[in-house]
Structure 1
């Protein structure tokens, strides 16, 4: 939709251009959520796409994903972990047009339970770099970054800069499961299993919970071990796309499935 209160769009060229962010000034990346509903409190948008951040950069430590990287750029990456990238992008159930516009950073910053990039980056133990409004930078893991439904640690004026996926996570074997109440419905539960090269086994549950939940084991656990850990979760989400008891049950079933696939 049109944002009728916007009077100015600033093309950011450097970090200094972000200093104007405030109550009536918001960043613009893909804009898929920004333009989906009225934003009557805004008068100015600061376009991050003009900063020219490379979408994907391989480093000695892993893969750096710019916050402005689109879902299409990530899903179509020529990378050994691209299969999981595509699976998580597909969980968003968006059109190719949206994939070409929506950004990884935007999805993370929204911090919704069914956020596909929250699922992916949490499962891969990614670290986020945030440009703080006071000029400092800080790094934080995804499971600490997202604090609840549509809530995270960023303060007004903070900007998510990039996501670093470590090499060990990229080299892991993974298994992906998703369930929804309708064939094209919003994710009711997304469960990703990851078996690391050192034998560590991690199950990440999102969409079913108000924030990402990880079950970590030093080695492949038994089915009973996994069931016990799932039973301890107390942050099940409740909305029209699934009641907590249903989300608890299906997440437990999917957790067993990813365990069996990776065993």
Structure 2
């Protein structure tokens, strides 16, 4: 879509240039910005001009720039012991996007738009990623991605704040992961996406798509299916839109959770 109200596009080369005036919005991939009308938008600030490196390996894990495209993330060569890495491909494909979109859409953009069906949000939450957020005063703060997304199209970002990067800990990358997804039609938007991560340190179940914001259930070891099901049955915030009713989303989520617990027990021999 043509953004006919935009009058300026700025390309900052240093952090000191990174500020937003009235009507300005950060631009990275732009796949959502250009997908619908943006009332009140008069200027864009292109974050890609800052030249952030897409990814950086370290002993502590993996750092992913907010401007890293999904295609670039898929090209990362994982370390030999990163058992969680297949989850990257699964979540990327859950977006049902063409290669053109993969080469434009960014990791940070998928999180910042905060759609319940944002599969990159699901990926980062499952891997316990921490977002580094640049604040307008020149400082920064760190927040778990699980807490950054607060609801449909809402985040914890304050005016003028920008996501700089996501830090994924090595402990999550070397863990086992599981993935389940469903939609109402073969090529429809995600109705429920349930992911899990497990290792000797515990079991994490993450629900997105079916809930307004990521739902994270943690257990010190691999739980029983009944334990997880009881927690999901008690949860009362299920998303409602044309891509699925709350009752249906609750039902498929509970089924997927049981399958993922069984999968975890199968790889751990019955104990975390």
Partner of 2:269: none
Residue from 213, 224, 227 that aligns with 2:226: 224
Residue from 185, 189, 192 that aligns with 1:186: 189
Q: 1:165, 1:212 → 2: CA distance?
A: 17
Q: 1:6, 1:152 → 2: CA distance?
A: 24
How many matched pairs? Answer: 261
Partner of 1:4: 4
Instruction: Please say if 1:58 is aligned against 2:57.
Output: yes
Task: Tell me how far 1:159 sits from its aligned partner.
Answer: 0.5
Query: Does the CA contact (< 8 Å) of 1:22 and 1:156 recur in 2?
Result: no
Task: Tell me how far 1:199 sits from its aligned partner.
Answer: 3.6
Give the alignment's TM-score, normalised by structure 2. 0.93
Give the alignment's TM-score, normalised by structure 1. 0.96
Unaligned runs of 5+ in 1: none
Once structures 1 and 2 are overlaid, which stretch shifts more, 70-79 or 114-123?
Answer: 70-79
Partner of 2:236: 234
Query: Does the CA contact (< 8 Å) of 1:88 and 1:119 recur in 2?
Result: yes
Task: Tell me how far 1:6 sits from its aligned partner.
Answer: 1.6
Residue from 98, 120, 124 that aligns with 1:121: 124
Q: Structure 1 segments of 4 or more deviating over 4 A?
A: none
Task: Tell me how far 1:70 sits from its aligned partner.
Answer: 0.4
- Write out aligned runs for 1:90-169 (5 A): 90-169=93-172
Query: Does the CA contact (< 8 Å) of 2:178 and 2:197 recur in 1?
Result: yes
Query: Does the CA contact (< 8 Å) of 2:85 and 2:173 recur in 1?
Result: no
Task: Tell me how far 1:35 sits from its aligned partner.
Answer: 0.8
Once structures 1 and 2 are overlaid, which stretch shifts more, 223-232 or 245-254?
Answer: 223-232
Q: 2:116, 2:187 → 1: CA distance?
A: 17
What whole-Å deviation, never above 9, does each CA across 1:165-190 have from its counterpart, x for those lacking one? 00100011001110111111110111
Q: 2:201, 2:60 → 1: CA distance?
A: 19
Instruction: Please say if 1:212 is aligned against 2:211.
Output: no
State the superposition RMSD in angstroms.
1.1
Q: 1:115, 1:6 → 2: CA distance?
A: 26
Task: Tell me how far 1:112 sits from its aligned partner.
Answer: 0.9
Task: Tell me how far 1:135 sits from its aligned partner.
Answer: 2.1
What whole-Å deviation, never above 9, does each CA across 1:78-102 have from its counterpart, x for those lacking one? 1134311110011111000000000
Q: 1:165, 1:113 → 2: CA distance?
A: 21
What whole-Å deviation, never above 9, does each CA across 1:33-57 have from its counterpart, x for those lacking one? 1111122412221111111111110
